[in-house]
A and B are shown apart, each in its own frame.
Chain A
Amino acid sequence: MEMETLLKYEWGVMMPEFIILGVATILSLIDLFMPKDRNRRPLALFALTGVVVALVSLLSLLSVDVTSILGDTFRLDSFAKAFKVLLFLGGALVLLLSLHYEPQEGLLYRGEFYYLFLTALLGAMMMASSGDLITLFVGLELLSISSYILVGLRKKYALANESALKYVISGGIATAITLFGMSYIFGFTGTTNIKEIAQYLNETVDLGHQYVLALAFFLTLIGLSFKLAAAPFHMWAPDVYQGAPTPVTAFLSVVSKTAGFVIVLRLLVSVFAQIPAEGSNSPSMLLSLQDYIAFLAAVTMILGNTIALKQRNVKRMLAYSSIAHAGYVLVAFATLSMFMFDAVWFYLLAYLLMNFGAFAILQVVSAQSQSEDIQVFAGLYKRSPMMAVAMAIFLLSLAGIPGTAGFIGKVNIFLGAFVTEPAHYVLAAIMIATTVVSYVYYFGIFVQMFFRPVEDKRKIEWPIGIIVVVAVCAFGTILFGLFPSIAYDFLGQFDHFSDFLQ
């Protein structure tokens, strides 16, 4: 290939990626040459500016048609645009959280702390906008390896070491399983381009091939379920979430999970929705295997919500709650309705807002009391009423009470389970039942905040970054709860992601 052909591609559509990559590189250089005793907090603001600029450049690309570079190794379609907006929002909020993060023993590698978030974000972005197995996989690994390091950054804290090791081992196994599944897909088709794979497999009628392809489907789904922390592959999540620095926990539970759903949708839907299940002209393989996804969703909801009941440590509780939320999103995936992408997108948006808000408040409250026990919330309403009310909004949204974004998200998924033929009554029933169970532990924090006497009379200092995060999240949660049409107008321009496979 000549230089000219290479330059003919519209590299402009990769602008957000270039910005993030550039900012991460510059940050690493600044960090390297900065005197050791200098305060490194301004670096977070620089990173934040980078993320915001990248978000703006992405928004300016919204009207661009589907563009693909170098045989789909990078493609900008409506799926990529919509989900990258979520990733940028998450990235910006996580940087605000980490700006004020101060563990007991001090954070020795603050510069790395900031730019590793950016590289992880870059990996997630590449997963969102690629139509090629190799790029998808490299993006997945870039995200994973950056997060392994982020989890282990508190070197002097025994729990962090344990959780980093657990994360790297279970993540490595999951990667191996995913790759094994992908290798079968590649082996059958001889190409890594998802579009070509789909076309090629569309004509597969050999039953033997279909058996092995179904095997490949399970291997990939299981491998990627680790990333989503879906039960029964969720064991790592509570320990890792507890040991990791709070901003990293928020990152894992929101951005990393969003990226996991992105790759699941990108890979499984586009590849396996095209394969006929038995012989030609039969329903697609994805439809015939949807019961297994539904099973995964049901187990995830039940396990996540019931184990969360007996947690005293708030971080662990939020970990189990995030497992349960992964289950709700999996319901949307399992029903495979026409509105699946919209429902998943909206739920992940609502989840992003309410979860980041809750983690922001938890970070300050637990740092003050140097404990993550549920008692640290005792009497929060008396100590700082505004924050208690904000936390109440997030908890109501997590529980799915009307008037909040979490409610709208759940209703969407719930309705999606009925519009398909046949309707998924069992799954919808499990979703309702587990949601009711989740009220118990969310309202446990409620009781502590509003009705328990204050144990710790000291005034809580709320850093400016945390206030911004809490305000943005609370505002968004209410806004999308009362006027969900704003988000749907935004999604409307994508026309149900019809250019997914173009």
Chain B
Amino acid sequence: MSGEYIAFLALALVALAGGIFMLNLTKVVHMVVALVFTFVSIAGVYVLLSAEFIAAVQVLIYSGAITIIMLFGIMLTRHQDDGQSTGSPLRKALALLATLAFGAAVYVGIRHLDFGEEAAALHEKNTEQIGVALYTNYVIPFELTSVLLLVALVGAIILAKKDDKEAGEK
């Protein structure tokens, strides 16, 4: 058992545990904290795969930006802090069964999977390569993504903004 394998097991365990805790905890803030554990351990998995740039982005965007925005959302809105679990036991059992079946189907597929030889040059200037690819071959999807972000921005503003009349009444 190599060190890499042990590290992967630990990270995967934390990621899964974070996800499960997020689903089962009842307080919103606790859920966010559980989610952070998942995000950070996935960043760790990226490092194991020699994708340092993606790992850094994962930490910055997910563990940083998204978590902070969630916390802002919790702070700034009126909400009931406690959620209660819904759904009948039968429904839960069916969901569990479906999840297990899907897990089993995927596991059967990937257990003996042989990908041929491993790529050798993984560590060579990752960030630079991503940058070069983005600004040459993938410049069309890149520009399209900026339109997408603009649309998301406009949407966020008009959906969340207080209308003038409403603001005036307060």
Contact = CB atoms under 8 A, between A and B. Distances in A.
A109 B137 CA distance: 37
A141 interface: yes
A149 B151 contact: yes
B163 A142 contact: no
A116 B137 contact: no
B155 interface: yes
B158 A134 contact: no
A122 interface: yes
Contacts, number: 83
Given A146-B151, A209-B113, A135 B108 contact: no
A481 interface: no
A145 B149 CA distance: 10
A417 interface: no
B154 A28 contact: yes
Interface stretch (B1-9, B32-40, B57-65, B140-148): B140-148
Interface in A183-215: 206, 208-209, 211-212, 215
A209 to B, nearest CB: 7
B83 interface: no
Nearest to A119: B151
A19 B143 CA distance: 15
Nearest to B164: A36
Nearest to B108: A211
A21 B106 CA distance: 41
A254 B20 CA distance: 39
Nearest to A150: B155
Given A73-B138, A208-B114, A138 B145 contact: yes
Contacts of A28: 150, 154
Interface in A89-121: 108-109, 112, 116, 119
A152 interface: yes
B107 to A, nearest CB: 11
A21 B141 CA distance: 14
Nearest to A188: B115
A153 interface: yes
B110 interface: yes
Interface residues of A, number: 39
Interface in B50-103: none
Interface residues of B, number: 26
A138 B5 CA distance: 34
Q: How would you classify the secondary structure of chain A's contact residues: helix, strand, loop or mixed?
A: helix
A152 B159 contact: yes
Nearest to B144: A138
A208 B140 contact: no
B159 A155 contact: yes
A146 B151 CA distance: 7
B114 A149 contact: no
A148 interface: yes
A126 interface: yes
B112 to A, nearest CB: 6
B129 interface: no
Nearest to A213: B109
A73 B140 contact: yes
A71 interface: yes
Interface centre among B148, B151, B154 (most CB of A within 10 A): B151
Given A145-B155, A152-B159, A212 B144 contact: no
B148 A141 contact: yes
A212 B114 CA distance: 11
B147 A74 contact: no
A153 B155 CA distance: 9
A158 interface: no
B162 to A, nearest CB: 10
B75 to A, nearest CB: 21
A38 to B, nearest CB: 15
A23 B155 CA distance: 18
A283 to B, nearest CB: 21
Contact of B148 (A132, A138, A152): A138
Contact of A149 (B106, B137, B144, B158): B158
Contacts of B122: none
A71 B140 CA distance: 11
A149 B155 contact: yes
A6 B143 CA distance: 15
Contact of A73 (B137, B152, B155): B137
B139 interface: yes
A212 B159 contact: no
B108 to A, nearest CB: 7
A149 B154 contact: yes
Interface centre among B105, B159, B163 (most CB of A within 10 A): B159
A112 B151 CA distance: 10
Contact of A142 (B106, B112, B147): B147
Interface of B: 105-106, 108-110, 112-114, 136-141, 144-145, 147-148, 150-152, 154-155, 158-159, 163
Query: What are the 5 A-B residue pairs with the smallest beta carbon separation, nearest first?
Result: A149-B155, A1-B136, A212-B109, A73-B140, A135-B141
12 contacts: A1-B137, A70-B139, A73-B139, A119-B151, A123-B144, A134-B138, A142-B148, A146-B155, A149-B151, A164-B159, A212-B110, A215-B109
Given A70-B139, A134-B138, 16 more contacts: A6-B136, A21-B147, A73-B137, A73-B138, A73-B141, A74-B140, A112-B154, A126-B144, A132-B141, A138-B141, A142-B144, A142-B147, A208-B113, A211-B108, A212-B109, A212-B113
